[in-house]
Structures are given as C-alpha cells and as structure tokens.
Amino acid sequence: MKAPQDSFSAGLCSLPLPVFVYDAKTLAILDVSDAAVERYGYTPEEFSSMSLHDVRPPAERKRKRRGVALSKGRGAVDGPVQHHTAHGEALFVETIATEVTYAGHRARALIVLDVSERLRMERRLQESERALREAEARLNDLAGQEAVSRSTSRTAMERCIGDLLAERTDDVFVLFVLLDGLDIVANTIGYSASDRLVEQAEGLLRDLVDEHMIVGEWQHGRFVVSGYASTYDLSDLVARVESALRKPMQHHYRNMHVGIRIGVASAAAGSQAEDLIRQASLAAHHALGHGRGVSHFEPSMESGLRSRLALEHALHLGIEGGELRFYVQPIVDAQTEHIISAEVLLRWNTPVHGLLSPASFIEMAEKTGLIIPIGAYVLNATCALAKECERLHIDVPIAMNVSAKQLTDKTFFADVQNMIAHHAVRPSQLIFELTESALMSDVRATSKMLSDLRDTGLRIAIDDFGTGYSSLSRLKHIDFDILKIDCSFVQDYSRNAMDRAIVDSATSLGKNAGLEVVAEGVETVEQASALREAGVTAMQGFYFARPMPPAEFLRSFDAARVSPKGNAAKHWGTL
C-alpha cells in the first residue's frame, strides 16, 4: 500500500495515533499509520480498497459524506463521531484534517483521537451529579455532627500520644497514612463509595495493630498510627500497612483502588504530640508530592514549608511595595521580521533574590489568590503601554497573560472595561493570552467571557499550544484569533519528526481557520528559516529580541523614526 511519501506525510504516519492519508475528492484511503492498523483491525491491504466512509457506521455514511464535503479545506476539528473497527467495535473519536503532499500530489490527512473512555466518564459524572444533589442535604445535616466527632477524636489521639511521650520521651513513632484519590472516587462513583473506602481502610488498620498502639482517623481519609518504636519493627509495620491498603477494596461488588502515602516521624527529646503528628503529616504530603509511597520526616521538609510561607509573605509585601516589574518582548512577522505586536512579561524584583521570573511564584499566586492583584497590575501596565504606543504613533498591539482564576472572577470583565476607559485605550490594541488549561477549567464560563471580550474589539490568543490537556471538540467552541505554538516543539523542529508533525499540523489548522500562528522560543537562524518555510505567520524568541524594559522598547521606535513595520526586531539593542 505504501507509496513514496514526503517527510510531512511520513511524519504524520509515524505518530502514535491513528492517521489516515486520503484523496480529498474521492475520500479513498491512500495510506495509514501503524496505529490505525492496530486500532481498527484492518490490514494495510484492506485499507487500500476502502474509503473514509467505510470506517463509519452504515446508517451515518450518507450524512457524513455530506459533512465531509462541506468541511473541505477548513482544517476544522470534528467530533465526537462514531467509527467502527473490523471487529465491529464502536469507537467515539475526534478528528482533525490537514493538507499534505503524498506521492507528489495534494492529499489530506485525518488525525484520530479515541475519546470513547472520556465520553463514558462524562456520562458517569452526569449520573454522579444527580446522586450528589440528593446527598447534599443529608451531608449538610451531618456536617456539624461530623466536625464535632472528628475534633473530639483528634483531641483524644493527641492526649494518648502525649501520654506515650510522657512515659518514653524518645521512643515514640507516628505514622500518618493518607489515602490518595478519594476525590476521584467521590466524583465518579459517589461520596458513599468514598466513605466506604475510608471505613474499610480504618478497619484494615485496626486489624494490623495490637491493644498497645493508637490508631484513628485524623481527617477524612487521613489516619494516625502511633506506638513505641522499641516494641515493634517499624519498617515491617510500615510495609504491612502499605501492603494491606494497596489491596483492592470493594463497594457494591466492585473492586476499587486508592493510592497510599505514609509519613513517618520519630520522637526526639522534648517532642510534643502535636509536633510529631504535624511532622508525620508533612512527610506524607512530601511522599505525595514526589510520587513516593513512604517518606520519613526530615527537618528540611519543615524548612521548605517555612520557605514557601516566607515567599508568600514576601510576595504580599512585594505587591504592596511596588516590586513587580514588567518587560516587553517583540513578536515579528515571519517573512519580513518586522514587529507586529509585543508581549508583556512579568518579573518580581525581590530585595534578596533579585529578579525572579513568573515560574518562581505564579503557581503559588494561583493557589493563594494573589494572582488577582497581580493580574490587575499587569492589566494596568499593559493598557498604559498600549496608550503610550498610541501616543507615539506606534501601531503595535500589546499582549498580556490571563490566568484561569481571572477568567472565573465575576468582576473581571468589568475590571477590564474600567481599565480600558481609564487609559482611553482602544481595545483593538490589546491581546489576552491564555493557556489551554486555563481555557478548559470552565468551558462554559470561559467561552462566554471570551466572547464578551472579543465583542469589545480585544483579540484572544491560545498560549503554549500543545502542552495542555484539552478536548478538541470543546476548544472549537471557543473564539480566538491567535495560536501560539509552545517552544518545546520549536526547539527540535528541524531534527525531531514528531515535533515537526505537531508544528506543521498546528500551522495548517491555524491557516485553514484564519488564525495568526506564532512560533514561540525561536533562538537560532536555522529555526527561524525552517519555521518560515513551514508557514507560521509570526515568531517570538531570543533570536529576534530578548525581553526589555518598556522605556527601551519605546526608545527603539523613536530612534528609528519609522513605523514599526519598517524596523526589524533583531537589530534592536536588547537586555
């Protein structure tokens, strides 16, 4: 079946996904990837006599023929749709078509993503939601009683461990046992299943210990076990606890598994019960964060937590004290290398550590809610720079990053409108960049927010495309203008067939959808030349310009005394 292929179609067919190369007019299958042969069960010879319609259910082939004809040339995402394998298995898939050259002729490639399991999960989630609503009233009634009971249990355990410490100060151990994954069980099967797992886990723990040990539930799905270290082989006890809780537990005749994380803390002279439990809890969460089953407490864990708390406090002060700075990095036209837009990049100028990139503090800011005042600062700076560009007759839109928390903030749209009015800037001079993960956090609310923003004249860009988890069928319902390909695919574009196929597919998708496609992280002339040849419309990276202070950005235009579209970014003085 194999005909001579160019490097692009060869790259597509080497993807670990089903790929069909087909004639755009007749829909006859010309070639398939190895993954398509394995997943659909047809031999390459059988595929050679088939068309795309033959993998569709018979009842839907006529309707699908009409749909394919209408979508030709658009590179649109399609799905979910149903496919059938050679063995009669029904698959639900999402597909994306892209133009390729095959055996010297124009053809199309269809990349297939099997979403059957995801759809089954979504149906289960819908069923769970009904059960959750029914249980909500009952849970509310029990919440107060449960809180009092757990508080009493914790107080009793602390007192009992304190008694052990009073008798043998440096001979006491505490295990903090954490069940990982209960939230997934609760959200997919139901809270009753989660509660049943916790009950079974507590029963298994009690069966492992004797009357001289202390065992009890500290929080939901968190248990404390304590005793004298000299009386037991602690390593053996930890291994037995881990082995017992890793076995499948049952709920309505269904086997279920949860992850087990165990933190171990041993008393020293002067140890208090509260401190010992806290240290064991820190060790368990350290195991969770590092993918381990068991972790023993070390003082560095405590110092690491103190460092994170100190960083959070310093960020609070930094926001209030004006320590945030912003830099600007140009984005250039792929063909002319003239500046067509610029991105605002945040930095934190700390008194102790110097200039920090967002990678050092944005995740913490997201978790603590500090991203809201930080976002307000960046929005103000972006609007101010856009207005200054307008005053200097520099026709360059300014882009800024927007977080998922900002999108779900009910006041965000009004805040944007007020800031635009305050600076008297045209919305068309602003671009909001969002990651795939931010877009998928709440698709319905996000889609409405972005639609309202675009109606004002703002443009929307998807940042770091290809690195986040997103459903193509959901992504196609979100209006956006710019696709920014993540730098991880750009770095090895010329050497890695997979990266090349991903970039070329994203470029084709953007072109057919009428989007501007920006390649991020371009650092060499070789990368720039290859990406230009691939058809990206714009590029950004150190090869053209490093991030620079806004004053330098504006002075560069002033010194040139020409419009930005006559000024090549790579000749600028940069930091």
250 by DSSP, 3-state: which? strand
Is 520 among the catalytic positions? yes
Looking at residue 15, what DSSP letter applies? S
Burial 397-422 (b: 16+ CB within 10 A, else e): bbbbbbbbbbbebeebeebbeebbee
Report which residue type is found at 19: V
Catalytic residue from among 520, 523, 526, 552: 520
CB-based burial of residue 364 (10 Å sphere; 0-12 exposed, 13-18 middle, 19+ buried)?
A: middle
CB-based burial of residue 237 (10 Å sphere; 0-12 exposed, 13-18 middle, 19+ buried)?
A: buried
**Cα 376–378–382 angle (5° rounding)?**
120
262 contacts 268 by C-beta, under 8 angstroms: no
CA distance 488 to 468: 12
404 contacts 438 by C-beta, under 8 angstroms: yes
Q: From edge to edge, which strands make up the β-sheet containing 19-22?
A: 29-32, 19-22, 105-114, 90-102, 77-84
CA distance 248 to 196: 12
CA distance 224 to 160: 12
**Cα 123–125–128 angle (5° rounding)?**
115
- Residues serving a catalytic function are 520
